[in-house]
Amino acid sequence: MDPRRLELLLDLSRLGSMRAVADLRGVTTSTVSQQLAVLAREAGVDLLEPQGRLVRLTPAGRRLADHAVTILAAIEAARVDLDPTATPSGTVRVAAFASAVREALLPVVPVLAERHRDVRLRVHEHEPAEALTLLAADEVDLALTYDYNLAPATFDGSVLAWPLWESPWGLGAPSVGRPPRGDTLEVFGRFRDRDWIVNSRNTADEDAVRTVASLAGFRPRIAHRADSLELVEDMVVAGLGVGLLPAGRRRARGVALCRLRDPEVRLRAYAVARRGRTGWPPLALVLRMLREPAGSRARAGGVRPRRTPEHRDRGRG
């Protein structure tokens, strides 16, 4: 079976339509259909069946798509294994949320410039869903993403994910009177009748808000969406609502941060790469540097350590 046809089958299993696969690969829908028909003949089984005006994978097609993940990863690993001792050289394309760019990637740049001049970073600022889409399309080599402990993300079998750091978040509210105290459910309950502000480019904090609110016995009224944390604070000051904010962030005047304890709300950052790609020397080097403690990485490169994301905002947008 031709690996390129396996890639098309895997794309179809993820995207759900031949038109989407054709758009992703830059070919016609007819080409995708013809290549999958050839793959079915190679496999000796029906891989697709009609579903209205569309098609869907048969049980055999789904099983072959599962095998394709392993097969394609093994092929990529074999390519890398041809020269496992090669000196890292090349451009690593990274999609990352803003705080990860500031706190994880930028400190790596001077170390690379001093010790690994043939390795370069190409950085794209994206929220997690956008970054993972780029990773699946092979438009980036590495994605830095995040979730919340109360609304954990799931990664499919085509990728590997490594935890990088965690940071506590609280509830931003107007600083009028004393901030409510108590456990997280009690704090949320105090704002059950208020409007809520969530991220406009990602659903992670909305999922966390809805999870905690459900535990507190109410359904939050999501009224506003904003990508910038600075804008979220301005909206809080203006009385438009309340929203999650990082605990270590220096807040705008007029914003109080209500601590969330029992349960805590914590943002968790990850490095995510496709299976079979992590042996590529430049990517392996960058992954290793990201997973090292900031202090040891800085000492190795002769640069001054920077504050960890625990003390800075996530920087949506």
**Is the separation of the CB atoms in 283 and 76 below 8 Å?**
no
* DSSP strand pairing (243-246 vs 142-148): unpaired
Domain positions in the chain are 3-81, 90-165+267-311, 169-266
- SS3 call for 182: coil
Instruction: Decide which of 1.10.510.10, 3.40.190.10, 3.40.50.720, 3.30.1330.40 is the CATH code for 90-165+267-311.
Output: 3.40.190.10
Closest CA to 309 of 97, 96, 94, 104: 104
In this prediction the pTM is 0.71
What span, in angstroms and rounded, lies between the C-alpha atoms of 296 and 191? Answer: 43
- Evaluate whether 3-81 and 169-266 have a shared fold: no
What span, in angstroms and rounded, lies between the C-alpha atoms of 58 and 226? Answer: 41
- SS3 call for 60: helix
Residue 310 has a pLDDT of: 36
For residue 186, the one-letter residue type is E
Instruction: Decide which of 3.40.190.10, 3.40.50.11540, 3.40.50.150, 3.40.720.10 is the CATH code for 169-266.
Output: 3.40.190.10
Find tokens 């992590």 and name the residue. 278
* Residue 30: exposure state from Cβ atoms within 10 A (0-12, 13-18, ≥19): exposed
Residue 250 has a pLDDT of: 85
Residues with Cβ < 8 Å from 204, sequence gap 6 or more? 128, 146, 147, 148, 151, 153
Residue 198 has a pLDDT of: 96
Q: What is the pLDDT along the chain (317 residues), one digit of tens a residue?
A: 899 999 999 999 999 999 999 999 999 999 999 999 999 999 999 999 998 888 999 999 999 999 999 999 888 877 766 666 678 888 999 999 999 999 999 999 999 999 999 999 999 999 999 999 999 999 999 999 999 999 899 998 899 999 999 999 999 999 877 777 789 999 999 999 999 999 999 999 999 999 999 999 999 999 999 988 999 999 999 999 999 999 988 888 999 999 999 899 999 999 999 998 888 899 999 999 999 875 444 444 433 333 333 333 444 43
Query: 3-81: what fold?
Result: Arc Repressor Mutant, subunit A (1.10.10)
Residue 13 has a pLDDT of: 94
Residue 215 has a pLDDT of: 94
Residues with Cβ < 8 Å from 171, sequence gap 6 or more? 187, 188, 191, 242, 243, 244, 245, 257, 258, 260
Residue 309 has a pLDDT of: 39
